[in-house]
Amino acid sequence: MQSTRERIVDAAAQVMRAQGLARATTKEIARTAGCSEALLYKHFRAKEDLFLAVLQERVPGRLPRLLATLADEAGQGTVEENLERVAHAAITFYQDSFPIAASIFSELRLLEGYRTAMRERGAGPQTVNTWLAAYLRAEQALGRVRPDADPEAVAALLLGACLQHAFLGHFTDTGSADDTAGRLARTLAAGL
């Protein structure tokens, strides 16, 4: 049986996918979950926390979880294989999360509110770059990445390319995530 928290996160994902983050309300999320707003707020202090839960728990690819622990896996597999795993997870994550989050840019006040909330929670889109750069620095320390490579630049190149692939995929056929992830990883690993 699903817990109340799980039902709320499922409902939040459903409502945010259908209406976008800007239009999704806690009232609608609670209604969809079959609970009161008061009960929703017993599990989540704000809509921002629901948004983070959806990204971490309901968006395919689980990019944040993968990257949060990747530095601990330095030395395992090849760097290219690890970058390919990251690229595949990133493309999948961005493809699914873009429709949810895109509406946040429609209102400057809403965007600023989310920026503040993410800063307070130590979260936000920049964390994936930070985690990937930490993994690359760990591989540098093991001698598996060139010492003159710039981990932050490599992270930005890989994740930026994945975001672009996902974004363009909403408008045109950009090819498979598997093929793109492999090509990106091979190209970057060759220079590392």
Tell me what percent of the residues of the chain surpass a pLDDT of 70: 99
Higher-confidence residue of 173 and 190: namely 190
> Over the stretch 132-143, which tens digit does the pLDDT of each residue have?
999 999 999 999
Task: Give the per-residue pLDDT at 148.
Answer: 97
Q: Is pLDDT at 127 greater than 70 in this prediction?
A: yes
- pTM given for the model: 0.84
Identity (one letter) of the amino acid at 171?
A: F
Q: How far apart, in whole angstroms, are the C-alpha atoms of residue 107 and residue 166?
A: 23
Over residues 18-40, the mean pLDDT reads 94
pLDDT band at 163 (very low <50, low <70, confident <90, very high): very high
Residue 4 tokens, joined: 């109340």
Per-residue pLDDT tens for 71-122?
999 999 999 999 999 999 999 999 988 888 888 888 888 888 888 888 888 8
Distance CA 112, CA 9 (A): 23
Mean pLDDT of all residues belonging to the chain: 92
Helix residue spans in the chain (DSSP H): 4-23, 26-33, 37-43, 47-57, 63-70, 79-101, 108-120, 126-141, 151-169, 177-191
Q: pLDDT per residue over 32-58, tens digit each?
A: 999 999 999 999 988 888 988 888 888
Q: Nearest 5°: phi and psi at 96? A: -80, -35
Predicted pLDDT of residue 61? 65
